[in-house]
Amino acid sequence: MHLPIVLLAVVVVVLFLVPAISSQPPPPPPPPEDCERSCGNVSIPFPFGLTERCSYDSSFLVTCESGGPKIVLFYENIDIVNINTNTSELEAMAIVAYDCSNSSYSATFETNGSFSISKKNRLFAVGCNISGDTDNTSCDSVCNYDSMRNGSCLAGNGCCEAKLPKGITGFFISTYRSVGMDRNELDKNPCSYAFVVEQGKYEFSTTDLLDFQGTKRNYPMTWLLDWAIGNDTCAMVDQESDDFLCKGNSECIQEFVGRGYRCRCKQGYSGNPYLKDNCINIDECKVGTHNCKGECIDAPGNYTCPCPNGKPGEYRKDVNTCSADELPIIQIFVGTLVAGLFLILLFTWIYVGLKRRKSLILREKFFKENGGIMLQQKISRDEGPQIQAKLFTVKELEKATNNYDQSRIIGKGGFGTVFKGYLPGDRIVAIKMSKIVDQTQTQVEQFINEVFILSQINHRNVVKLIGCCLETEVPSLVYEFIPNGTLFDHLHNECKSKAINWDIRLRIATETAGALSHLHSGVSVPIIHRDVKTMNILLDSSYVAKVADFGASRLIPMNQDKLATMVQGTLGYLDPEYFQTGQLTEKSDVYSFGVVLVELLTGKKIVDFNKPENERQITKSFLASLENETLFQVLDEKLQLNEVPDHEIILVSMLAKRCLHLKGNERPTMKEVASELERISAPSVIDKHPSVTSTSKEEETTCLLNGASGDYEDIDGTDTSSLEFHSMKASLPK
């Protein structure tokens, strides 16, 4: 058995977002008539040119060399085969990457702002036991010589084929092979190849495995580049401006959705649509492209086929509308047509009526199944104020989300999917579509619970409920749109985490605590969130915190301080006392908030299964660092501790420790937590704290820490928080 030839063809397709549209200098005047418009046997039409004065701008500049025309696009000189102004496409010779025993070549290609890679292209790789795999493009191929055939690469025998993603502007392609292959296999397949070509421009041959370059030297393997003018689309560009190229009988292609705009000659005209007055009328009668049965008369952009004997109508091969001599035939035709139209209208009216009735019945059914009756009963029992949110119709939400287009998805959670939507007046909202309801009605209760709870909350740090829709199989909630994502994303994204310094983190903690305090003690019936975590804290463009996702929340009657529920929460954030007893209290949110404080301080994920078992939960490591006086070794390195007040770090850390007590009655209330954070974050907090009695900074901070730790028990009459503070101060980096 031969050792397999291991060949890896990798195509890294780099997706570029369309850059922000910026103003650009006006293009040069139309090219002079004396411009050279060919290189060898290749035509070079405007907007391309062999000199800058003959091209639209420098990105369309073509060089004419002995081997033919070329255009320079960043890393590669591209050999041009054809330029088509009707389709705005540039056809170029394919770039081939290869790997042989004594040589290799990797191709990097990137367009400039006027070009993109056509979706008509395909990725091909030629070789044995080939595997190409990226986030966007992959293909696999093996070599079974007994069954190998010439032709398509879709079977993956000897070569493989894959589509390229839409809208890309560059790629990197390379191949490499393993060592230790036997001579027999090397003789059959000495090199591996990878290339991008237009679909249909490459046909596999078994001889390619042995000598690809030799057999394909004269083969027209080409690929396509799309091009457009400027940055503005047809809808954005000033079409009355002198700089706009689609003039005369040329029109702007509205269907083109990429960056810039394209021109084409209007129907019935031909020429270069990018040159003024260059689209000339086609004489269909002369060239023979008409479909007249008799005489043909040319007209601007069209033609006519007059009826014999001067009768009105058109005498065409496909449709003959010439008037007949017999009047009764016309009357019969008109009568039949009128009767047919009447029957069509009648059946249409009946069909629309039945469909509308069926739709109303279905909407009423969904309203009941989605908890509409349950919501009405909650309101009627005076469990809360009248809901002010708007009830949206199905059509309103479909229009807002472009029929729930997948590109509008901005998040997925345990209870549903969140879409970005646009209401009339360009108001941006977040639309949460719940998952399909189960037989036990658990998700119905979660959904109605969230509507009912959010309707009672009016706080700047709680996401605002705008409305809901119960008329579809999957119910939906409509919130205000919070543009900056979740706190979790900002803490654990390498780039975003650098933007949230200590002041921002402290403010986020203070605002979140204030929102939870409002839920616990600022509403008529206390609300326990039950799923406090960084993924449920959203940030607006100014990094203002917004507490979200109340699907698991519960109302606590005024005469109770706890509620027996099925345990629910997120691993790492879940209150251990609630987990063991099933008794939900306000202190359960306090514990979860303490975990959030740890996450803000350390910048690490609360549970990380990639670490050793004793290091998986960061809360344990954090509490251990307080006991071992090594707090500053576990803090987030991106906090730049030399610029952060030491006393604020330690006060927040000790507050987190108080929140993380295993016993709920030993934790502070959210109101106390919010007040403490406000004191910590307030300007000149040292001077304002009532425990300050000394001018020494260390003494002042020690007093602050003593004041913040009043709920802790002393051991042998010693203030443990003070001791910990002095030890941690001594371990600070110099």
What's the one-letter identity of residue 246?
C
pLDDT value for 216: 63
673 and 719 share a domain? yes
CA 614 to CA 619: how far, in whole Å?
11
Q: What is the distance of C-alpha 650 from the center of its chain? A: 39
Q: Domain end: 462, 481, 500, which one? A: 481
Q: Domain end: 454, 481, 508, which one? A: 481
Q: Which residues partner with 300 through β-bridges? A: none
Coil vs helix vs strand at 78: strand
551 and 647 share a domain? yes
428 and 400 share a domain? yes
The percentage of the chain sitting over the pLDDT mark of 90, rounded to a whole number, equals: 34
**DSSP result, 79-110:** EEEEEETTTTEEEEEPPEEEEESS-EE-EEEE
CA 25 to CA 54: how far, in whole Å?
17
207 and 252 share a domain? no
Q: Which residues contact 400 (CB under 8 A, 6 or more apart)?
A: 421, 422, 423, 429, 431
8 A C-beta contact, residue 194 and residue 14: no
Mean pLDDT of 17-28: 43
CA 291 to CA 295: how far, in whole Å?
10
403 and 519 share a domain? no
Q: Work out the pLDDT band at 178, boundaries 50, 70, 90.
A: low
Peptide bond into 47 cis (omega under 30): yes
Pairing of strands 545-547, 537-539: antiparallel
8 A C-beta contact, residue 656 and residue 665: no
Q: Which residues partner with 252 through β-bridges? A: 263
CA 559 to CA 564: how far, in whole Å?
14
Tell me the pLDDT tens digit for each residue of 131-147.
655 556 778 888 888 88
CA 614 to CA 621: how far, in whole Å?
9
80 and 198 share a domain? yes
Domain annotation covers residue 559: yes
Residue count (the chain): 734
Coil vs helix vs strand at 525: coil
CA 575 to CA 590: how far, in whole Å?
9
Task: Look up residue 620 and give its two tokens.
Answer: 């344990």
Catalytic residues: 531
pLDDT value for 296: 93
643 lies in which domain range? Answer: 485-730
pLDDT value for 11: 41
- Flag the least confident range among 33-37, 330-334, 343-347: 330-334
Domain annotation covers residue 321: no
Q: Domain end: 168, 194, 227, which one? A: 227
Q: What is the CA radius of gyration of the chain?
A: 36
* Beta strands across the sheet bearing 159-163: 104-105, 96-100, 191-198, 121-126, 159-163
Q: Work out the pLDDT band at 554, boundaries 50, 70, 90.
A: low
CA 311 to CA 617: how far, in whole Å?
91
Domain annotation covers residue 354: no
453 and 492 share a domain? no
CA 27 to CA 245: how far, in whole Å?
10
Longest dimension (CA), the chain: 122
Q: What are phi and psi of 11, to 5 degrees?
A: -120, 110
Q: Would you call 676 exposed, middle or buried from its count of C-beta atoms within 10 A (0-12, 13-18, 19+)?
A: buried
CA 223 to CA 195: how far, in whole Å?
10
Domain annotation covers residue 208: yes
pTM attached to this predicted model: 0.46
Q: What are phi and psi of 506, to 5 degrees?
A: -65, -40
Does residue 699 have a pLDDT over 70?
no
What is each CA distance from 426 to 139, 421, 422, in whole angstroms? 43, 9, 6
Which of 198-202, 379-383, 422-426, 672-676 has the highest average model confidence (pLDDT)?
672-676
Does residue 391 have a pLDDT over 70?
yes
**What CATH number did the domain enclosing 635 receive?**
1.10.510.10
Domain annotation covers residue 639: yes
> What count of Cα atoms within 13 Å lies in the side-chain half-sphere of residue 717?
0
- Structure-derived torsion over alpha carbons of residues 338, 341, 342, 343, reported in degrees to the nearest 10: 130
Q: Work out the pLDDT band at 219, boundaries 50, 70, 90.
A: low
170 and 184 share a domain? yes
Averaged pLDDT of the chain: 79
pLDDT value for 507: 96
Mean pLDDT of 513-522: 92
Nearest CA to 233 out of 263, 262, 254, 261 is that of 261
pLDDT value for 386: 53
pLDDT value for 214: 66
157 and 270 share a domain? no
**What CATH number did the domain enclosing 441 receive?**
3.30.200.20
Domain annotation covers residue 291: no
- Which long-range contacts (C-beta less than 8 Å, at least 24 apart) are formed by 621-625? 622/598, 622/653, 622/656, 623/657, 623/660
> Locate tokens 């307030």: which residue?
682
CA 521 to CA 320: how far, in whole Å?
82
Does residue 193 have a pLDDT over 50?
yes
Q: Would you call 180 exposed, middle or buried from its count of C-beta atoms within 10 A (0-12, 13-18, 19+)?
A: exposed
Work out how many domains the chain is built from and give that number: 4
Question: Which run of H or of E encompasses 152?
Answer: none
Domain annotation covers residue 288: no
Pairing of strands 537-539, 222-227: unpaired
Domain annotation covers residue 340: no
Q: Work out the pLDDT band at 726, boundaries 50, 70, 90.
A: very low
pLDDT value for 450: 67
Q: Which residues partner with 140 through β-bridges? A: 131
CA 529 to CA 539: how far, in whole Å?
18
Mean pLDDT of 77-88: 92
8 A C-beta contact, residue 667 and residue 661: yes
Q: What is the distance of C-alpha 17 from the center of its chain? A: 11
pLDDT value for 689: 39
- Flag the least confident range among 65-74, 571-580, 582-591: 65-74
30 and 164 share a domain? yes
170 and 44 share a domain? yes
Q: Work out the pLDDT band at 662, boundaries 50, 70, 90.
A: very high
CA 508 to CA 315: how far, in whole Å?
77
CA 48 to CA 690: how far, in whole Å?
77
CA 517 to CA 510: how far, in whole Å?
10
Q: Work out the pLDDT band at 708, boundaries 50, 70, 90.
A: very low
Category of 21 on φ-ψ map: left (φ > 0), alpha (ψ -120 to 50) or beta: beta
386 and 251 share a domain? no
Nearest CA to 466 out of 421, 528, 401, 517 is that of 421
Tell me the pLDDT tens digit for each residue of 101-133.
788 888 888 888 789 899 999 989 888 877 655
